[in-house]
Amino acid sequence: MTGAFTRDRAETLTLSTVLGRGGMILVAALLVSGLAGALGDGRPVPAVAAPVRTGSSDPRVERLQAELATARGALEVERLKNRRADAVQAFSAQYRIPADLAGDVYDHAVTEGIDPALAFRLVKVESNFRPNARSRANAIGYTQLRLATARHYEPWVTERDLRTPDVNLRIGFRFLRDLLRQYGGDENIALLAYNRGPARVNEYLDSGSDPDNG
């Protein structure tokens, strides 16, 4: 009887030790992920870490590790959902646009890997958030894309497609992302190239002139 009681107590202590260790790991992971993310920073979503391996083959320990990993993943998803909701609400209020439009701009910016704050500024300047905006140069929609530019990314796209918010935002932000890479992350030059065309901006840069004149 004493031996059985000792084994049960040992098993309980083992599971308690693992649970305590797993809980500390979970809390540490949440603290790190919380510190790493700022509102609207546009950085890629961090992957959920794999379960911690202790080297034990005990199925109870492995089950506990799996449960901890699932809980950590669920908490991370909730954190990101809340972060998105806060950002969308803030941008909606700042630019006085519907929340669904703010959500579309935010989601496409994050998907294409650019700072959502920069994406909102671009749409504000280019179209003032008017989906049917059209310039004298036949630039179309929220991000004021020309058909030729859009077809560099999606050759089958049509003018009608560019009046669709999802298509327009997706391609426009992809174009801006490529310009940011081309100009070493210089937002000012990238935005000038977006508005004036990279060929013209490159001419100014190659000649030593200021591409921002006028």
pLDDT in tens, 149-163: 999 999 999 999 999
What confidence tier does 3 reach under pLDDT thresholds 50, 70, 90? very low
Which residue is associated with the tokens 């890479």? 181
* pLDDT at 46 > cutoff 50: no
Task: Please count the helices (runs of H) and the strands (runs of E) in the chain.
Answer: 9, 0
Give the C-alpha separation, 5 to 1, whole Å.
6
Which residues have C-beta within 8 Å of that of residue 55, sequence separation ≥ 6? none
Report the range of poorest mean pLDDT among 80-94, 103-117, 199-213. 199-213
Q: Which residues of 9-20 are buried (b: 16+ CB within 10 A; e: fewer)?
A: eeeeeeeeebee
Q: What tokens appear for 70 in the block?
A: 């699932």
Rounded to an integer, what distance in angstroms lies between the CA atom of residue 77 and that of residue 84? 11
Helix (H, G, I), strand (E, B) or coil at 57: coil
Chain segment 8-36, per-residue pLDDT in tens: 444 443 334 433 444 443 344 434 344 34
CA dist 97 and 120 (Å) reads: 11
Q: Which residue has the tokens 């059985």?
A: 4
Note the pTM of the prediction, 2 decimals. 0.66
The whole-number pLDDT of residue 208 equals 79
* Phi, psi angles (nearest 5°) of residue 145: -90, 140
Alpha carbon distance 126, 120 (integer Å)? 10
